């Protein structure tokens, strides 16, 4: 979908990412997703009177890692209280960074060659999670909300982009590249479906060349698809409003994925009075050069560079291979592809196996690079069929070991060339019509013979070897 | 004079969820105006040579290690809640937005 001729959208994104620390931002409660409600809470994250926050060192390191990955400037920073009343915020304020964030300035380069400026990336704490009874239909007519404070106080970094994005597709690309960067820093798991990365989109439209229009903020987009659809809808809505002689009101809007529309949540002026003031219980944060250096030393190469390295091994990757590369980079598994290349193996086969069989596994720590490379070699040389190679990899991932032994244990001994030759000869003799058509150039019949051989050998034959045998006899 | 209005005091009171009587509004408007006047007096001082102070303590980077410590027992936590259901704090239904 594109806007009518003469219109342009202006989009800035605020991305909240939960940090993968062991504990919360200001207390020692565990930071885990999916625990039983209210089992990871203490006086600090429940906002009980007299409790005092103490900053998590690792959260600061992760925030700096994010800043470095985004080419931001790390500066001395302070914490503020953002005051509002909501049941999922038991202190009645959220501790955040206001005028002095830990990271400011910076940029993110997107795979399409565009650059989006980063205004800031600051630390703050997450809120609890409320379930609205009645509204959700879970208990009809109920008039209560249930609150779980396990998420209350989980460390977040909020990354605010400049108003540099000009299409919904670019917004999606920005979010997906940022997600890959966050995963690469080790600061985030990027799991949008678990809410560990959430996006607010500021959308306005203008006629080409005019100043920025009034913007609306769409809250809590929790998938890349929702992000793109919501921005497309909202920009279209604003253009239609303006072309009809209306005005855009600055407001916060909610995206309804099932309806495919945004709707007013609250009008801006009513709510935006947070009376920020300095958090008196926390002192200033000013990481010294040594601390910053420790973070920099741990920071590996970013996705763009790692992606380019794998692309370089393939030359001209197909779209499917590009998708596979994204998966492999997200999961940090490209070492298997590089190892295959270093051993002179088939990189395309290796990429496919990593993006599918390895990516599907919870844990690949039992699979050594050497065993992986050897499996790919067995597959490319035809000693294992693709199906057999996948089974061998699954076994290696589950229990470790050497591929030849695993293949032998599975009974994947290849037929000897002689016995395969005998079987092929017998089947040719039994199917003279098909054979003569194959000889006359109907290559489709190769699959017919492969099928017969597979049935005859109960799948032990290698398809490539059968085809070679057929051609040798043609 | 700060020029603080009664309407502004009422607004701030509403943001802080304070219900003030008309007499209290009058009283606090006068009192808060005096505080603002005092701040305005300080603004007029020449403080060019004074380093900005963010915090009275001469401390920075007070942090703790990222190590899990025991949380509270849920029964104890929920016993302090006005009402509980399904292991959660039960509160009057929140209309509208989900944050
Ligand atoms: Zn806690």
pLDDT in tens, A181-233: 999 999 999 999 999 999 999 999 999 999 999 999 999 899 999 999 999 99
In chain A, pLDDT over 90 holds for what percent of residues?
A: 77
| CA distance, residue B10 to nearest chain A CA (Å) | 14
Q: What pLDDT, on a 0 to 100 scale, did the predictor assign at position A269?
A: 53
Give every CB contact of residue A365 below 8 A, 6+ residues apart in sequence.
none
Q: What pLDDT, on a 0 to 100 scale, did the predictor assign at position A347?
A: 95
* Tens-digit pLDDT profile for residues A39-95: 999 999 999 999 999 999 999 999 999 999 999 999 999 999 999 888 899 999 999
Point out the domain boundary residue: A242, A270, A296.
A296
Contact between A38 and B89 using a beta-carbon 8 Å cutoff: yes
| CA distance, residue B52 to nearest chain A CA (Å) | 13
Asked if the structure places residue A91 within a domain, the reply is yes
Point out the domain boundary residue: A270, A296, A322.
A296
Distance CA B55, CA A187 (A): 29
Distance CA A345, CA A405 (A): 20
Distance CA A152, CA A212 (A): 36
A50 Cα–ligand 1 center, Å: 13
B17 Cα–ligand 1 center, Å: 26
Contact between B71 and A86 using a beta-carbon 8 Å cutoff: no
Q: Are residues A112 and A251 in the same domain?
A: yes
Instruction: Write a three-state SS string for B65-84.
Output: CCCCCCCCCHHHHHHCCCCE
Mutate to test the interface with B, among A18, A21, A30, A38 (most CBs of B within 10 A): A38
Half-sphere exposure of A135 (CA within 13 A, CB side): 14
* Tens-digit pLDDT profile for residues B5-64: 999 999 999 888 899 999 999 999 999 999 999 999 988 899 888 887 767 778 999 999
Q: Are residues A141 and A210 in the same domain?
A: yes
Q: Are residues A315 and A290 in the same domain?
A: no
* Tens-digit pLDDT profile for residues A81-140: 999 888 899 999 999 999 999 999 999 999 999 999 999 999 999 999 988 766 544 444
If DSSP codes are grouped into helix, strand and coil, which group holds residue A159?
strand
Point out the domain boundary residue: A272, A296, A320.
A296
Give rounded-to-5 percent helix, strand, coil for chain A: 40, 20, 40
Contact between B87 and A148 using a beta-carbon 8 Å cutoff: yes
Contact between A60 and B63 using a beta-carbon 8 Å cutoff: yes
Contact between A41 and B17 using a beta-carbon 8 Å cutoff: no
Q: Are residues A115 and A143 in the same domain?
A: yes
Q: Are residues A366 and A268 in the same domain?
A: no
What domain count does chain A have?
3
Q: Are residues A357 and A432 in the same domain?
A: no
Q: Are residues A148 and A250 in the same domain?
A: yes
Q: Are residues A386 and A467 in the same domain?
A: no
Q: Are residues A423 and A379 in the same domain?
A: no
Mutate to test the interface with B, among A91, A124, A283 (most CBs of B within 10 A): A283
| CA distance, residue B46 to nearest chain A CA (Å) | 24
Which residues in chain A have Cβ-Cβ distances shorter than 8 Å to B86? Answer: 37, 146
Long-range contacts of A251-257 (CB under 8 A, 24+ apart): A251/A216, A251/A217, A252/A216, A252/A217, A252/A218, A252/A219, A252/B97, A253/A216, A253/A217, A253/A218, A253/A219, A254/A218, A254/A219, A254/A220, A254/B97, A255/A218, A255/A219, A255/A220, A255/A221, A255/A226, A255/A229, A255/A230, A257/A226, A257/A229
Asked if the structure places residue A2 within a domain, the reply is no
| CA distance, residue B58 to nearest chain A CA (Å) | 9
Please name each of the domains of chain B with its CATH number.
6-43 (1.10.20)
Which residue of chain B is at minimal alpha-carbon distance from A280? Answer: B55
Q: Are residues A285 and A213 in the same domain?
A: yes
On whether any CB of chain A is under 8 Å from the CB of B97, the answer is yes
* Tens-digit pLDDT profile for residues A229-277: 999 999 999 999 999 999 999 999 999 999 999 998 877 555 568 889 9
**Residue-number span of the structural domain to which A460 is assigned:** 417-473
- Out of B72, B89, B93, the one facing A133 most closely (by C-beta) is B93
Does the structure show a pLDDT above 70 at A343? yes
Q: Are residues A437 and A397 in the same domain?
A: no
* Tens-digit pLDDT profile for residues A395-421: 999 999 999 999 988 888 666 667 788
Q: Are residues A94 and A157 in the same domain?
A: yes
Residue A440, domain CATH: 1.10.10
Contact between B15 and A22 using a beta-carbon 8 Å cutoff: no
Q: How far is CA A303 from CA A122, A318, A419, B56, in A?
A: 22, 18, 49, 43
Residue A463 pLDDT level (bands cut at 50, 70, 90): confident
State the DSSP code for A337: H
């Amino acid at each position: 979908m594109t806007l009518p001729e003469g219109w342009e959208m202006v989009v800035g994104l605020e991305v909240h990412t939960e940090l993968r620390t062991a504990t919360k931002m200001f207390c020692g409660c565990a930071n885990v997703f999916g625990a039983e409600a209210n089992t990871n809470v203490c006086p600090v994250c429940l906002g009980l009177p007299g409790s005092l926050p103490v900053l998590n060192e690792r959260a600061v390191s992760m925030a700096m890692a994010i800043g470095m990955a985004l080419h931001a400037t790390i500066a001395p920073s302070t914490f503020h209280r953002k005051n509002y009343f909501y049941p999922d915020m038991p202190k009645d304020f959220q501790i955040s960074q206001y005028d002095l964030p830990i990271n400011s300035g910076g940029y993110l380069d997107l795979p399409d060659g565009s650059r989006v400026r980063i205004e800031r990336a600051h630390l703050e704490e997450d809120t609890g999670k409320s379930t609205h009874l009645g509204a959700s239909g879970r208990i009809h007519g109920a008039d209560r909300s249930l609150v779980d404070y396990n998420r209350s106080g989980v460390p977040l970094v909020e990354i605010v982009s400049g108003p540099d994005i000009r299409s919904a597709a670019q917004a999606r690309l920005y979010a997906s590249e940022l997600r890959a960067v966050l995963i690469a820093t080790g600061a985030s798991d990027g799991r949008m479906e678990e809410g560990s990365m959430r996006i607010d989109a500021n959308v306005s439209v203008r006629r080409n060349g005019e100043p920025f229009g009034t913007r609306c903020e769409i809250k809590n987009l929790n998938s890349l698809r929702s992000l793109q659809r919501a921005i497309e809808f909202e920009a279209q809505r604003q253009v239609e409003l303006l072309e009809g002689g209306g005005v855009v009101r600055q407001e916060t809007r909610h995206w309804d994925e099932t309806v495919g529309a945004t709707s007013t949540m609250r009008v801006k002026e009513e709510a935006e009075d947070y009376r920020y003031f300095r958090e008196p219980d926390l002192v200033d944060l000013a990481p010294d050069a040594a601390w910053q250096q420790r973070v920099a030393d741990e920071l590996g190469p970013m996705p763009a560079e790692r992606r380019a390295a794998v692309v370089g091994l393939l030359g001209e990757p197909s779209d499917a291979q590009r998708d596979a590369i994204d998966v492999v980079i997200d999961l940090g598994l490209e070492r298997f592809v590089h190892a295959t290349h270093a051993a002179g193996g088939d990189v395309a086969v290796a990429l496919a196996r990593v993006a599918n069989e390895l990516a599907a596994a919870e844990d690949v720590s039992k699979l050594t690079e050497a065993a992986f490379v050897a499996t790919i070699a067995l597959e490319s040389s035809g000693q294992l069929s693709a199906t057999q190679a996948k089974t061998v990899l699954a076994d290696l991932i589950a229990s470790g070991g050497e591929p030849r032994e695993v293949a032998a244990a599975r009974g994947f001994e290849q037929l000897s060339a002689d016995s395969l030759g005998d079987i092929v000869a017998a089947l040719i003799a039994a199917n003279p019509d098909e054979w003569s058509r194959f000889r006359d150039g109907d290559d489709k019949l190769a699959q017919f013979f492969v099928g017969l051989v597979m049935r005859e050998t109960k799948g032990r034959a290698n398809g490539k070897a059968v085809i070679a045998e057929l051609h040798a006899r043609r | 004079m700060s020029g603080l209005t009664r309407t502004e005091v009422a607004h701030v009171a509403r943001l802080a969820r304070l219900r003030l009587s008309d007499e209290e509004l009058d009283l606090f408007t006068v009192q808060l105006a005096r505080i603002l006047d005092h701040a305005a007096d300080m603004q007029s001082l020449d403080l060019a040579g004074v380093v900005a102070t963010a915090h009275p303590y001469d401390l920075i980077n007070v942090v703790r290690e990222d190590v899990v410590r025991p949380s509270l027992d849920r029964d104890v936590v929920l016993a302090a809640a006005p009402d509980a259901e399904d292991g959660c704090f039960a509160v009057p239904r929140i209309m509208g937005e989900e944050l």
